[in-house]
Structure 1
Amino acid sequence: MKRPSPSRCALALFIMMPAWPLCAESQESPGDGSRYQHFMVYPHRQAGYAAMRAGDERTAIAEFTRARELAPKNLGTALDLAEAYRHFGHAARAQAVLDEQKRYTPNDPRLLAAMPAPAAPAVDCMRDNRPVCRAQRGFNDLQSGELARAQEELDAPDFARSPEGRALRHALAQRAIYLGDDQRADAQLAELDAHDTLSADERGQWFMLLLKLGKLDAARQLQSRSGLDAPAQDLAMAQAIGNGRDRALLAQYMASRKPVFAGEKDERQWVNLLAMAARAQPALLDRYVVQYPANAIWQARFSLSLAMARGDRAVAQSMLSRLPASDFREDRFSLDLEQGRYLQAREQAEALIAQPEGYRLLDPLSYRLMEAGASVEAKQLLLDAYPFAGNPHLTALLSRLAVLASEQPALFSPDDRARLRRPLENVPLRIAQVHILGALHDCDGIRAVMADLAKDYPAELWRQLGDCYGNAQPGLAEYAYAEAGKRQPDSETTRALAYQAYSAQDYETALLAWRSVPATHMQQADLIAAATTALTIHEAAVARAWLDTYTAQGGRQDGTYWWLRAQADEPHDPALARTDLESAVALQPDARYYARLAALQAQAGDSQQALASWQHASALAPDDSRLSASLGYAYLQAGEPQQALVEFARAHQADPDNPAVTRQLLYVNQQLGNNAQARIYAEQAIDQIDNLNAADPEGTGGDAKQDQDELYSLRRLHENLGRSWSFNADMSLGDTVSSAANTVAPGVSYRSYAQLEAQYHLDPQLTGGDLNTLAAYARLFAGSGASGAVWPLHAAMLGVGLHWKPLISQNIVLSVEQQTPADNNRDTRNDTLLRASGSWSFGPKLSDDWHASGWGWPTQNFYVDIAHYLRAKQSVITLDYRFGLHDKIANGQTIEPYVHLQYTGIDRTQGLSYLRDGRAGLGLQWNVWYGETRYDAYPHRFSVAIEGQHAFTSYLRERNAVFLIVRTQW
């Protein structure tokens, strides 16, 4: 290559200083540096030129200074910086830069030319066309900005190819670059290149200019023929192609270049361009071997994303295998997820979340796991972070857990559920928590979380809480539905409240709820439920209104309808209710319908139809002990105790702990004379009361007094049913003769008397079960005799006979007794006594037997005795009334003050004479009962009394008497 002579360069420098850089760069010296160094400083020099054109001193000097730092020994950078200083009026600093450069290139003619020198004598070239003058005029035009006129000088054929012309063309090209006239600069450089007058650096500048102008083909041709293969030039060409978005051309170019970059940043730009070209040829990026480790990560980032986008999992995996396991976890997560390695994907997700601020990734990572079908891993990832404190996606995460729970509740183990049941710290979180538990149908958890019953819970959650309490805790369920109704008073919520209140037996609230639901919003089932509620609290008129609405809506008139209609009609028209029930059983035979029909039939006095209805009811529900018991009562009323016994036995078998049935079995067996069986049921009845008392020792569940009295009555009955022998003895000692001792010998007056009696109670089964109570007895009695002795040892008599008690419910006894003298007393003889006696206390509370409850009790007894002696033909009637007050002084002991009234009438002459005795007495008696067992009441009693009497009328001589009376029974 031919180069301009130093003299011509000096001329150019002398005439126009801005042209010297191009001229200077046409020379090569040790201070020029390498091609790569020129390429590195070139952008700064270009920026400096642009700043000088714009008058920006600070930027121009800064850019030229940076170029000088990159190439501190390069003559071009020194000349640029010196010129900038001179341009902006800093001559001294320009001289300092040139002086420093002299250390490196002291003899370079370009440096010497730049040094200040005496001005050359002026040459008058205004009309001279010699090359030197043309060059001078052209340089003058360039200096004044007249590029077109300088171009005219170059158009002269004899001048363009002269050394002076080529120098001017260099200057014109440089000036065009300086002024931004890239097209003119390109044309001039092309002309220079055609004559091989450009240096390598100048070709490099022209290459960059072509790229800037978008003349990629020209730039590639220049690069090809001029050997412009520096890494920076390869990078610049690739960037220019990349700006055109022609990925195929870019891939083709980059495939032919293998630059080795001296810096990490340039290589990174090359990798970026490879990523662009990889759209056309993925292998370019995948196979590129980077020099700098940081760029390996950069390459992997691009290569991974492209490989994943095109589905090339092998390349993606290969890229990841080259990198540390802690890098590109998101890509590893994506790759594991797509290839079904869900456990590994979850591990990558956990590692990502563990990074600083990684908790923010929980939302997208868990979502992607769920979308991929990795529900188990998504659930575990979410539960590991639960309850997501501080996470900005808290609401979304809780909702995602709820979705998982709804779609796959089986994924949640008991431990998971236990963790989810722990109430969170505030109401909004607990609301979201309940949604999760609701999806799991975990009512235990919902009840635990909402245990605070906060007022801020929405209606939906109160409804859910009500559903969870349900029948297990109906009261709380009702409260929950009521709270839901306060927040959302719609028909659906009110309907739920009505049903639940009925279940909780809060019928008033249920009825109010049903009344608040418009009839138009009520379904037929609701109308039936509302009517049922109204009937439960005896609102028959309200029930009829709902039943009328039900009928108007075309509701089915089945057995249920007629059953409710009967209950609604019964208060005002029992006959109509009976007709309703007949319709019900005709359509749908039901034990309840027959039972109610039987009650109405019995109420109307139709006992046979009632019995038939009870039989139907029991047949439909043979295991219903209540129906069996009711049928047993019906049989009793119909006079069929044997059938009643069968039904009571069935009821007892189904419900052996029912005390009412047990007692009916006791009484019916007693009525039928089955005393042994009756005693068994008496023992069961006693045990039932004892068990109830043991379960409720404080007596809070019932009437303790009534239980004690019933228990004693059952023990007394048990004792009586088991008694075969009875013994009693009584003695009275008086101070005068009285008729008070009439029970021993009716019509005989004694001062004193004594009696010993033994009875044997015959088993009813031995008599065919027809006689209620039959007893054989024998007694020995004596009195004070005619002499009026104190001790009753005279006129002893032996009586043997039978007692018959025809009625169980009445204490009436018919007796027949054969009396025989027991000694040789002349006042006694054989006789037969016929006797009818009765005793009434007018209620068990006034009986003379021991009372288990209370401090004591009043007692009364009205005794009637009619006796007739067949041989003596004597009749006696006795009326005896006694009222006393027992005061308990110890268990089984009382002190009893009493009043005694007695009337005795004696007919000894078949109506010819009639003797009367009427008297009153006051007494005080000490009573002792003893011998009680678990099942038997006191079988023995001992009494001692002192009684004073006054006769108001008497056939006896003495009107006043005092007696000591002793009685014992065992």
Structure 2
Amino acid sequence: MKQTLPSRCALALFIMVPAWPLCAESQASPGDGSRYQHFMVYPHRQAGYAAMRVGDERTAIAEFTRARELAPQSVDTALDLAEAYRHFGHAAQAQTVLNEQMRYTPNDSRLRAAMTPPASPAVDCNRDNRPVCRAKRGFGDLQTGDLARAQAELDAPDFAASPEGRRLRHALVQRAIYIGDDQRAVTQLAELDAHDKLSSDERNQWFMLLLKLGKLDAAQQLQSRGGLDAPTQQLSMAQAMGSSGDRKLLASYMAVHQPTFANAKDERQWINLLAMAGRIQPALLDHYTVRFPANAAWQARAALPLAMMRGDLTVAGSMLSRLPADGFHEERFSLDLQQGRYAEAQQQAEMLIAQPDGYRLLDPLSYRLMEAGALHGAKQLLLDAYPFTGNTHSAALWARLAVLAGEQPALFSADDRIRLRRPLDSVTLRVAQLQILGALRDCDGIHQVMADLSPDYPAELWRQLGDCYGKDRPGLAEYAYAQAGKRKPSMDTTRALAYQAYSAQDYETALLAWRSVPAAHMGQADLIAAATTALTIHETAVASAWLDTYAAQGGKQDGTYWWLRAQADEPHDPVLASTDLENAVDVQPDPRYYARLAALQAQAGDAQQALASWQHASALAPDDGGLAASLGYAYLQAGEPQKALVSFERAHQADPDNPALTRQLLYVNQRLGDYARARFYDEQAIDQFGAVDPDGTSSDTKQDQDALYSLRRLHENLGRTWSFNADMSLGDTVSSAANTVAPGVSYRSYAQWEAQYHLDPQLTGGDLNTLTAYARLFAGSGVSGAVWPVHEAMLGIGVHWKPLISQNIVLSVEQQTPADNSRDTHNDTLLRASGSWSFGPKLSDDWHASGWGWPAQNFYVDIAHYLRAKESVVTLDYRFGLHDKIASGQTIEPYIHLQYTGIDRSQGLTYLRDGRAGLGVQWNVWYGETHYDAYPHRFSVAVEGQHAFTTYLRDRNAVFLIVRTQW
């Protein structure tokens, strides 16, 4: 029995509009497949219908074939493909498709009808204009006038209420949808609903059809009539809007619809659509409240990249808090970096790198850390991967680490530097390693890495090592430059070697390097440096040649040029050198120039000009202690000790630990009579020797010991106001040995006690001991020749005057008065001139701090005249002894003694002579020394035997016991 399709299906088939699913759903059979297959097949069937309508055979066959592949047992796909084959004249292929389908659905009535198509009904449609006839012919063939007649027919109550009218209304809606007349489709759907009271399923089917066809406006208007606001329908509308690509429309729709979904799947799809609309209105996704907890993370995953993209750190942080902590490291890294949490960003970067193939991220992650200012994190990240073996971006990583080392060396700890100093396995790696050490200026590290002295190290690295050592280790820097020159000779390297060798005081090498550079390749600065080098080692001719070249090149003839020129000219022409220096100070006043000019002027004997030059030099450098000292010496030579003192004090302030300046201040103050200041500087000079033992034996050298003792002796003398001494001699016969006490008087024994008061030299305008008042009491054995010297006592009061500073010559005036009632004594006035010389401090009779002992000599001359007695006496006395130290401050001194005495009495009428020699031994004891004062006291006991070669006395031989003390 022949079975026909329902009118609704036939009409849809004839007009080729996508209403076939309506028919298919109502006529579904076991061979029609699932709803999912219908969903997948539908677009291809629609495309096939459209291609058949326009006569596109290839596309129609292809689309129906694809639909058949998706639903190979479906009757619908078989009928579509067979009809397409028949439509384009391929009956055999159509029959093959139908025969194949018979295996799956042999009882399907539609398939059987297609296998034996029915004869056309005897209907004369040319005469019959009813819409039903038109529908049978195919509604797609209707013209505008036919549509108008069809609409008029539908207005007829009898036909509108019939099933054919209902089917026609559906067809008109379908046609309006098909031709894209959305407004007509909506209007006709409203009419269809008004006449036929569509069910909710039918309304949903029309709504879904509009959405599938992309008729969004029509679908929205249909939805606005109500009944289509279920969450799934809102979701479908949003999905259709999303498929259209109109995000603005989607955002505006979703902003006013907040469906409550019954399952997590639909809610998740809604969240996906919110993420699509989030580019327009981010708040829709950010503020959406999920119903199902499983979708909270889904929402966070969708919202997080959008928040990161627009820089909304608050939302990004909130979303990350909903996500597992062991994921999303990239987002957490970016967020921490932007919010300045550098330690946390470093941790996230380490987690990213720890992932499989994460080493590829080291380059961008370290770069981003550096750009954000997280330098410590970038450094640590790079050092953790050091030395980047196997990383495809190793060159960039080495360079980045070197940049960090150069800009932030403080970031690298001692442990980091130790690690970076360990030589790597290959020369290539060590070359890269050296770039980092060079940036750190780690000279020790560079030297350690290059310890193998591989010939493969390029000259640039040796140059770098030289630059690194530069100031701190000039010798090693010179070696490095020399190695660079061997590997890659160049003028620049030779210049660097020359400069560095000069800095290392290797002037010969520096000069050799300069000589290897042609003058044509030397700049003016190079010529000046080369000339300076030559002059340093006194190669004046070579220096002159370079200075000539400098002048020929138009070099500036400034102070430096004339200064060098003066040094070159001085050996053979000091006058020309002085002229050069005058030119130098005219162009550029400099203390060095004035100082050298002063020295040349002094050599030429022009003391005043030299003094003026020293004054200029010191004025230009008032803090230069050396210049101030030189000016002080110049003032001394000019006889201006007061100005010299000012200069020396300025020099001493600049260099208070200079012992030469301290002693100079001591001597100048002594010369000016300011003993208090002289003693102050004397104490400083003593302290500058350091702690020593009282006898001076702990000094470093013999000269230091003697110098220290001299300073102590001077300190003691400068502080002395009173001096006391006592002498006593006991002899076995009368001798002239007592002449120092009473010139011209012979005693067997004598004794003397004397006190001297040193007048203040600032009052007298003199030097130490210049003027001394004294009083003495002396006595002898008398004419009776008694043993004890207690007879004929005399009191002498007088003044000693020392007219010369450099000579120990004393002029004395003494008034003598008898101290007892002896008839042999009387008042008299003694005029006396005496002098004493030891001919050098090494032969003085004072204690010597150094050595086992010392030879001592003294030559004494005494000329005395008694005014009342009119008697003159001349005494010449020479004594030579050898002190042998037996203890600290004690010596045994054997000595010889030569003496000549001449006495003129009664104005030349009587002249007496006495010449004798003596041998003796003396025990000397010095005591009372302090830290600053030499021994102030001395006690001596001697035994001496004499023999007179010529004498006016009775006895020629005598033996004496002599005792002396001074304090």
Same fold (TM over 0.5): yes
Tell me: CA distance 1:927–1:311, structure 2 relative to 1, closer, same or farther (3 Å).
Answer: farther
What is the alpha-carbon distance in structure 2 between the residues aligned to residue 278 and residue 785 of structure 1?
154
Question: Which residue of structure 1 aligns with residue 417 of structure 2?
Answer: 421
Structure 1 position 683 matched with structure 2 position 680? yes
Q: Which amino acid aligns with 2:922?
A: Q
Structure 1 position 643 matched with structure 2 position 640? no
Q: TM-score, normalised by structure 1?
A: 0.63
Q: 1:942 aligns with which of 939, 942, 954?
A: 939
Deviates more, 1:311-320 or 1:563-572: 311-320
Shift of 1:811: 0.7
Shift of 1:466: 4.9
What is the alpha-carbon distance in structure 2 between the residues aligned to residue 655 and residue 965 of structure 1?
51
What is the alpha-carbon distance in structure 1 between the residues aligned to residue 641 and residue 542 of structure 2?
43
Question: Which residue of structure 2 aligns with residue 750 of structure 1?
Answer: 747
What is the alpha-carbon distance in structure 2 between the residues aligned to residue 354 and residue 525 of structure 1?
56
Q: Aligned to 2:738, what secondary structure does the other structure show?
A: coil
Question: Which residue of structure 2 aligns with residue 629 of structure 1?
Answer: 629
Tell me: CA distance 1:878–1:517, structure 2 relative to 1, closer, same or farther (3 Å).
Answer: farther
Question: Which residue of structure 1 aligns with residue 963 of structure 2?
Answer: 966
What is the alpha-carbon distance in structure 1 between the residues aligned to residue 93 and residue 546 of structure 2?
116
Question: Which residue of structure 2 aligns with residue 520 of structure 1?
Answer: 520
Tell me: CA distance 1:694–1:454, structure 2 relative to 1, closer, same or farther (3 Å).
Answer: farther
Shift of 1:774: 0.7
What is the alpha-carbon distance in structure 2 between the residues aligned to residue 637 and residue 829 of structure 1?
51
What is the alpha-carbon distance in structure 2 between the residues aligned to residue 198 and residue 769 of structure 1?
161
For structure 2, list consecutive stretches of 5 or more residues without a partner in the other structure.
Answer: 4-28, 39-70, 74-88, 101-110, 118-210, 216-238, 254-263, 287-298, 305-321
Tell me: CA distance 1:329–1:950, structure 2 relative to 1, closer, same or farther (3 Å).
Answer: same
1:670-696 deviation digits (Å, cap 9, x = unpaired): 223x2xx33333333332442452599
Tell me: CA distance 1:282–1:426, structure 2 relative to 1, closer, same or farther (3 Å).
Answer: farther
Answer yes or no: is the 8 Å Cα contact 1:421–1:448 preserved in 2.
no
Answer yes or no: is the 8 Å Cα contact 1:379–1:404 preserved in 2.
no
Shift of 1:942: 0.7
Question: Which residue of structure 2 aligns with residue 103 of structure 1?
Answer: none
Shift of 1:436: 4.2
For structure 1, list consecutive stretches of 5 or more residues without a partner in the other structure.
Answer: 4-29, 40-70, 75-160, 176-192, 200-251, 257-273, 288-292
Q: Which amino acid aligns with 2:354?
A: A
Shift of 1:805: 0.5
Question: Which residue of structure 2 aligns with residue 801 of structure 1?
Answer: 798
Shift of 1:858: 2.1
Q: Aligned to 2:814, what secondary structure does the other structure show?
A: strand
Tell me: CA distance 1:338–1:527, structure 2 relative to 1, closer, same or farther (3 Å).
Answer: same
Question: Which residue of structure 2 aligns with residue 886 of structure 1?
Answer: 883
Q: Which amino acid aligns with 1:571?
A: P
What is the alpha-carbon distance in structure 2 between the residues aligned to residue 774 and residue 568 of structure 1?
54
Structure 1 position 608 matched with structure 2 position 640? no
Answer yes or no: is the 8 Å Cα contact 2:346–2:381 preserved in 1.
no
Shift of 1:871: 3.0
What is the alpha-carbon distance in structure 1 between the residues aligned to residue 354 and residue 920 of structure 2?
102
Question: Which residue of structure 1 aligns with residue 846 of structure 2?
Answer: 849
Structure 1 position 384 matched with structure 2 position 381? yes
Q: Aligned to 1:547, what secondary structure does the other structure show?
A: helix
Tell me: CA distance 1:700–1:496, structure 2 relative to 1, closer, same or farther (3 Å).
Answer: farther
Question: Which residue of structure 1 aligns with residue 547 of structure 2?
Answer: 547
Q: Aligned to 2:763, what secondary structure does the other structure show?
A: helix
Deviates more, 1:949-958 or 1:550-559: 949-958
What is the alpha-carbon distance in structure 2 between the residues aligned to residue 425 and residue 198 of structure 1?
95
Answer yes or no: is the 8 Å Cα contact 1:423–1:448 preserved in 2.
no
What is the alpha-carbon distance in structure 2 between the residues aligned to residue 731 and residue 877 of structure 1?
22
Q: Which amino acid aligns with 1:321?
A: A
Structure 1 position 738 matched with structure 2 position 707? no
1:421-478 deviation digits (Å, cap 9, x = unpaired): 3442633567545544655xx54xx246346373357654555555555545555655
Q: Aligned to 1:952, what secondary structure does the other structure show?
A: strand
Structure 1 position 594 matched with structure 2 position 607? no
Tell me: CA distance 1:880–1:470, structure 2 relative to 1, closer, same or farther (3 Å).
Answer: farther
What is the alpha-carbon distance in structure 1 between the residues aligned to residue 488 and residue 571 of structure 2?
38
Q: Aligned to 2:614, what secondary structure does the other structure show?
A: helix
Tell me: CA distance 1:387–1:862, structure 2 relative to 1, closer, same or farther (3 Å).
Answer: farther
1:62-94 deviation digits (Å, cap 9, x = unpaired): xxxxxxxxx9xx9xxxxxxxxxxxxxxxxxxxx
1:70-128 deviation digits (Å, cap 9, x = unpaired): x9xx9xxxxxxxxxxxxxxxxxxxxxxxxxxxxxxxxxxxxxxxxxxxxxxxxxxxxxx
Question: Which residue of structure 2 aligns with residue 900 of structure 1?
Answer: 897
Question: Which residue of structure 2 aligns with residue 585 of structure 1?
Answer: 585
Shift of 1:813: 0.7
What is the alpha-carbon distance in structure 2 between the residues aligned to residue 962 and residue 931 of structure 1?
31
Shift of 1:604: 1.0
Answer yes or no: is the 8 Å Cα contact 1:337–1:345 preserved in 2.
yes
Q: Aligned to 2:373, what secondary structure does the other structure show?
A: helix
Answer yes or no: is the 8 Å Cα contact 1:834–1:870 preserved in 2.
yes
What is the alpha-carbon distance in structure 1 between the residues aligned to residue 33 and residue 824 of structure 2?
176
Q: 1:321 aligns with which of 302, 311, 317?
A: 302
1:211-246 deviation digits (Å, cap 9, x = unpaired): xxxxxxxxxxxxxxxxxxxxxxxxxxxxxxxxxxxx
What is the alpha-carbon distance in structure 2 between the residues aligned to residue 756 and residue 453 of structure 1?
85
What is the alpha-carbon distance in structure 2 between the residues aligned to residue 862 and residue 279 of structure 1?
134
Shift of 1:775: 0.9
Question: Which residue of structure 2 aligns with residue 535 of structure 1?
Answer: 535
Structure 1 position 619 matched with structure 2 position 600? no
What is the alpha-carbon distance in structure 1 between the residues aligned to residue 112 and residue 547 of structure 2?
114
Shift of 1:375: 3.6
Matched ranges for 1:141-152 at <5 A? none
What is the alpha-carbon distance in structure 2 between the residues aligned to residue 929 and residue 687 of structure 1?
24
Q: Aligned to 2:836, what secondary structure does the other structure show?
A: strand
Tell me: CA distance 1:357–1:907, structure 2 relative to 1, closer, same or farther (3 Å).
Answer: same
Question: Which residue of structure 2 aligns with residue 52 of structure 1?
Answer: none
Matched ranges for 1:424-463 at <5 A? 424=420, 426-428=422-424, 432=432, 435-436=435-436, 439=439, 442-443=440-441, 446-447=442-443, 449-450=445-446, 452=448, 454-455=450-451, 459-461=459-461, 463=463
What is the alpha-carbon distance in structure 2 between the residues aligned to residue 961 and residue 566 of structure 1?
73
Answer yes or no: is the 8 Å Cα contact 1:379–1:401 preserved in 2.
no
Matched ranges for 1:121-140 at <5 A? none
Matched ranges for 1:213-292 at <5 A? none
Shift of 1:578: 1.1
1:33-81 deviation digits (Å, cap 9, x = unpaired): 9799999xxxxxxxxxxxxxxxxxxxxxxxxxxxxxxx9xx9xxxxxxx
Answer yes or no: is the 8 Å Cα contact 1:591–1:616 preserved in 2.
yes
Tell me: CA distance 1:929–1:342, structure 2 relative to 1, closer, same or farther (3 Å).
Answer: closer
Q: Aligned to 1:424, what secondary structure does the other structure show?
A: helix
Matched ranges for 1:85-484 at <5 A? 196-197=114-115, 320-321=301-302, 349-367=349-367, 374-376=371-373, 380-389=377-386, 391=388, 392=391, 393-403=393-403, 409=407, 412=408, 414-416=410-412, 420-424=416-420, 426-428=422-424, 432=432, 435-436=435-436, 439=439, 442-443=440-441, 446-447=442-443, 449-450=445-446, 452=448, 454-455=450-451, 459-461=459-461, 463-464=463-464, 466-468=466-468, 470-471=470-471, 481=481
Q: Aligned to 1:644, what secondary structure does the other structure show?
A: helix
1:1-38 deviation digits (Å, cap 9, x = unpaired): 999xxxxxxxxxxxxxxxxxxxxxxxxxx999979999
Question: Which residue of structure 2 aligns with residue 492 of structure 1?
Answer: 492
Q: Which amino acid aligns with 2:667?
A: Y
1:167-186 deviation digits (Å, cap 9, x = unpaired): 999789999xxxxxxxxxxx
Q: Aligned to 1:575, what secondary structure does the other structure show?
A: helix
Shift of 1:966: 0.8
Could you say what the CA RMSD is over the residues aligned between the two structures, in angstroms? 5.4
Answer yes or no: is the 8 Å Cα contact 1:874–1:909 preserved in 2.
yes
Tell me: CA distance 1:427–1:437, structure 2 relative to 1, closer, same or farther (3 Å).
Answer: closer
Question: Which residue of structure 1 aligns with residue 770 of structure 2?
Answer: 773
Q: Aligned to 1:904, what secondary structure does the other structure show?
A: strand
Q: Which amino acid aligns with 2:904?
A: D
Answer yes or no: is the 8 Å Cα contact 2:755–2:776 preserved in 1.
yes
Question: Which residue of structure 1 aligns with residue 785 of structure 2?
Answer: 788
Q: TM-score, normalised by structure 2?
A: 0.64
What is the alpha-carbon distance in structure 2 between the residues aligned to residue 769 and residue 869 of structure 1?
28
What is the alpha-carbon distance in structure 2 between the residues aligned to residue 483 and residue 826 of structure 1?
104
What is the alpha-carbon distance in structure 2 between the residues aligned to residue 335 and residue 778 of structure 1?
105
Tell me: CA distance 1:808–1:390, structure 2 relative to 1, closer, same or farther (3 Å).
Answer: closer
Tell me: CA distance 1:197–1:866, structure 2 relative to 1, closer, same or farther (3 Å).
Answer: farther
Q: Which amino acid aligns with 1:426?
A: R
Shift of 1:730: 0.8
